[in-house]
Amino acid sequence: QVQLVQSGAEVKKPGASVKVSCKASGYTFSSYYMHWVRQAPGQGLEWMGIINPSGDSTSYAQKFQGRVTMTRDTSTSTVYMELSSLRSEDTAVYYCARGTARLGAFDIWGQGTMVTVSS
């Protein structure tokens, strides 16, 4: 079945970086855009950015510009999101989500990865 499986929970110190992976299966990986969305504890959903099917184009929310990098590896059907210069406010669940098109809703979501930033 179509699914996105994310890497496990992470605990990081302030100033460190974290790299979260999202492995796709059950569909043609190279045909779909992928998004990253995060959710702080008890809060709403926040869009972080998008990577195109071939991996050569990204667009990030202004809030994360300079700190986030999204990449994808077609050989393993995996997308990655790396966030640097972590601070306590980055503590959140991070989700990958498949976009149905460049301008498309998010139809498949990963299970989420909890990232905790604490000294």
Provide the minimum distance between the beta carbon of 103 and another protein in the complex, in angstroms, as a whole number: 6
Report d(CA 117, CA 111) in Å as an integer.
Answer: 20
Provide the minimum distance between the beta carbon of 116 and another protein in the complex, in angstroms, as a whole number: 16
Burial zone of 118 (CB within 10 Å; 0-12 exposed, 13-18 middle, 19+ buried): exposed
Binding site for another protein (CB under 8 A): 35, 44-47, 50, 59, 61-62, 95, 97, 99-100, 103-107, 109-112
Report d(CA 51, CA 58) in Å as an integer.
Answer: 4
Amino acid letter, residue 106: F
Closer Cβ to another protein, 56 or 103, answer by number: 103
CB 63 within 8 A of CB 89: no
Report d(CA 107, CA 72) in Å as an integer.
Answer: 19
CB 9 within 8 A of CB 116: yes
Closer Cβ to another protein, 8 or 105, answer by number: 105
Provide the minimum distance between the beta carbon of 24 and another protein in the complex, in angstroms, as a whole number: 14
Closer Cβ to another protein, 46 or 82, answer by number: 46
Closer Cβ to another protein, 15 or 104, answer by number: 104
Provide the minimum distance between the beta carbon of 79 and another protein in the complex, in angstroms, as a whole number: 15
